[in-house]
């Protein structure tokens, strides 16, 4: 394994350092686990889970580290975007378009599959968007930019959905 | 940096807490590294690596923490989906369609590129699906939902492919 | 939660183990945080940040662990690909095509949105490609395959962009 050596140019990009902090773990490395459930109402539904995740991070008592989120279902996803009604409408339309529900899929064909939910599109949307997300914990909160929200996406609701949240660090 | 404050509504979503666990690291934080190779047989091939990853997690002796998987090749990907033959057929068809192989690409054009594999489509598939995956370790196993399998995708085989697996925690 | 039991076959795949290493943390678990800014020049721009990230990993003094990268902006992304001019041209063309800028979006429509940047396409590109990336640190460097580079993608430039980099481990 070798480090890649860039052969392109990053001309005209000014870099500026902003913040340095090193933490020698005083209280020691710890792990905090919790599973949270959501009941969804629509086939495709976007849920802003940012505040819920922050509550759990605060409860964990961990000040600096990593929070790992994983939805435990293949027909869901977890990702980041701005939480704005107009944009959320565009997100749903985009995902509808990216993976058509009407297409022929073997997963929906009784000749090939015993799945009765006809949810091949849900599987493909969940696969492309991803079911897990790792974020930084800083000062007992999830580190996010001003416009970044954590979104849990339901692609085959209504159902009950579980997310496993692990906070680790010091 | 400020926390995002959601301006939309999450009405009608019932939340329910399921499990709490905090671990004070008794044996101390540890890291376990291993590289595993796979020989692939087709240009596009999906490989279920779940059991192999679990073997390594068990061998690591780490009970709770994180397992990080990274395929060391740009024309591969690692992601989660249900492992069902009919659905895997749909996944291959979807990825074939999402990134057409027949399109004109500069990367495949000798006038612009010295790559003789004509694998621009493989690069774009690997980029969209992602080459690394971070998952939780709980009770000496990878935490996965009932239908979630870890899939290594070959997009430019047949070749030998290496994945670096790192287990960290307590 | 149960482990998935694969119902498909992985016939003909030869597996071979390559490297074993377990680290008992001698100096203890540590966390090193830094925020780095980039000034971008184009609406869509790809920046190779591999060397910059490696510099920070070296500075952290952490030999083995995890480096977590997060761009703090919804209209950017962080991902891995080969850094080759011809391929980067294909990447830009693919993303342009995957999310059309000309499409109608509510986020760009003053009747629904107060966003004046008309950047719905940028949001959707950032969402699909992802704004965070977790990689392994080995021997005081980011573990990457020969052809893997870390790419920060600007989708709504020119602007100043911040990435938060967290190195944790021993």
- The whole-number pLDDT of residue A121 equals 98
Q: Please state, in angstroms and rounded to a whole number, the distance separating the CA atoms of residues A69 and A167.
A: 9
pLDDT for A13 beyond 70: no
- Beta carbons of B64 and A37 less than 8 Å apart: no
Which residues in chain B are contacts of C69 at CB distance < 8 A? none
- Beta carbons of C146 and A24 less than 8 Å apart: no
Residue by residue, pLDDT tens for chain C (170 residues) are: 333 333 333 333 444 444 445 555 456 899 999 999 999 999 999 999 999 999 999 999 999 999 999 999 999 999 999 999 999 999 999 999 999 999 999 999 999 999 999 999 999 999 999 999 999 999 999 999 999 999 999 999 999 999 999 999 99
Distance from CA of C24 to the nearest CA of B (A): 5
Render pLDDT for B34-55 as a digit per residue (tens, 0 to 9).
999 999 999 999 999 999 999 9
Cβ atoms of A156 and A88 within 8 Å: the answer is no
Q: Does B151 touch chain C (CB under 8 A)?
A: no
- The whole-number pLDDT of residue C21 equals 52
- Beta carbons of A1 and C99 less than 8 Å apart: no
Distance from CA of B98 to the nearest CA of A (A): 8
Q: Please state, in angstroms and rounded to a whole number, the distance separating the CA atoms of residues C154 and C126.
A: 9
Q: Which member of C40, C71, C123 has the closest CB to residue A81?
A: C123
User: Strands A160-169 and B76-81, how do they pair?
Assistant: unpaired
Identify the band that residue B160 occupies on the pLDDT scale cut at 50, 70 and 90: very high
Which residues in chain B are contacts of C85 at CB distance < 8 A? 112
DSSP summary character for residue B18:
E
pTM of the model as a whole:
0.88
Q: Does B47 touch chain C (CB under 8 A)?
A: yes
The pair of structure tokens assigned to C32 is: 């090193």
Cβ atoms of A129 and A99 within 8 Å: the answer is no
How many CB pairs below 8 Å do chains A and B form together? 178
Identify the band that residue A149 occupies on the pLDDT scale cut at 50, 70 and 90: very high
Identify the band that residue A87 occupies on the pLDDT scale cut at 50, 70 and 90: very high
- Beta carbons of B10 and A47 less than 8 Å apart: yes
Q: Does C136 touch chain A (CB under 8 A)?
A: no
Render pLDDT for A98-140 as a digit per residue (tens, 0 to 9).
999 999 999 999 999 999 999 999 999 999 999 999 999 999 9
Classify C107 as helix, strand or coil.
helix
Q: Please state, in angstroms and rounded to a whole number, the distance separating the CA atoms of residues C86 and B146.
A: 42
Cβ atoms of C78 and C130 within 8 Å: the answer is yes
Q: Does C116 touch chain B (CB under 8 A)?
A: no
Sign of the alpha-carbon dihedral angle for C122, A134, A71, A113:
positive
- Beta carbons of A86 and C73 less than 8 Å apart: no
- The whole-number pLDDT of residue B27 equals 60
Written as one string, the DSSP assignment of C24-85 is E-SS--EEEEEEEEEE--SSSEEEE-HHHHHHHHHHHT--SEEEEEEES-TTEEEEEE---H
Closest CA to A167 of C60, C33, C168, B2: C168
- The whole-number pLDDT of residue C23 equals 56
Closest CA to B45 of C81, C8, C149: C8
More confident residue, B114 or B13: B114
Q: Please state, in angstroms and rounded to a whole number, the distance separating the CA atoms of residues C48 and B10.
A: 38
- The whole-number pLDDT of residue C83 equals 98
**What is the separation, in whole angstroms, between the first and last Cα of chain A?**
31
* Percent of chain B whose predicted confidence (pLDDT) is above 70: 84
Phi, psi of A68 (to 5 degrees): -110, 125
Which residues in chain C are contacts of A22 at CB distance < 8 A? 30-33, 60-61
User: Strands C65-71 and C132-138, how do they pair?
Assistant: antiparallel
Q: Does B14 touch chain A (CB under 8 A)?
A: yes
Residue B8's CB is within 10 A of a number of other CB atoms, namely 15
Render pLDDT for B103-140 as a digit per residue (tens, 0 to 9).
999 999 999 999 999 999 999 999 999 999 999 999 99
The pair of structure tokens assigned to B61 is: 């002796």
- The whole-number pLDDT of residue C156 equals 98
| Helices and strands in chain B, H and E counts | 3, 9
Classify B38 as helix, strand or coil.
strand
Q: Does B11 touch chain A (CB under 8 A)?
A: no
* Percent of chain A whose predicted confidence (pLDDT) is above 90: 84
Q: Please state, in angstroms and rounded to a whole number, the distance separating the CA atoms of residues A69 and C4.
A: 19
- The whole-number pLDDT of residue A80 equals 98
- The whole-number pLDDT of residue B5 equals 33
- The whole-number pLDDT of residue C99 equals 98
Identify the band that residue A3 occupies on the pLDDT scale cut at 50, 70 and 90: very low
Written as one string, the DSSP assignment of A38-102 is EE--SSSEEEE-HHHHHHHHHHHT--SEEEEEEES-TTEEEEEE---HHHHHHHHHHHHHHS-SS
């Amino acid at each position: 394994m070798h480090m890649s050596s860039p052969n392109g140019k990053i001309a005209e990009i000014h870099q500026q350092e902003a913040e340095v902090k090193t933490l020698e773990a005083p209280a020691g490395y710890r792990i905090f686990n919790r599973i949270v459930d959501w009941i969804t109402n629509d086939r495709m539904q976007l849920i802003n889970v940012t505040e819920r995740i922050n509550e759990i991070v605060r409860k964990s008592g961990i000040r600096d580290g990593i929070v790992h989120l994983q939805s435990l279902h293949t027909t869901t996803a977890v990702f980041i975007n701005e939480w704005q009604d107009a944009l959320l409408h565009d997100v749903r339309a985009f995902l509808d378009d990216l993976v058509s529900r009407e297409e022929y899929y073997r997963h929906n064909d009784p000749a090939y599959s015993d799945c009765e939910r006809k949810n091949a599109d849900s599987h493909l949307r969940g696969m492309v968007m991803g079911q897990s997300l790792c974020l930084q914990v800083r000062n007992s909160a999830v580190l996010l930019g001003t416009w970044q929200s954590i979104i849990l996406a339901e692609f085959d609701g209504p159902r009950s959905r579980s997310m496993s949240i692990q906070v680790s660090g010091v």
